[in-house]
Amino acid sequence: MIKISVLIAGRHATSISLEEEFYEEFLNIAAEMKMSRNQLITHIDRTRKAENLSSAVRLFVLQYYKEKSAAPK
Q: Locate the domains of the chain by residue range.
A: 2-70
Closest to 53 (Cα-Cα) out of 37, 64, 42? 42
| Spans of the chain, pLDDT less than 50 | none
What distance in Å separates the CA atoms of residue 70 and residue 73, rounded to the nearest whole number? Answer: 9
How much is the pTM? 0.91
* pLDDT at 50 (0 to 100): 79
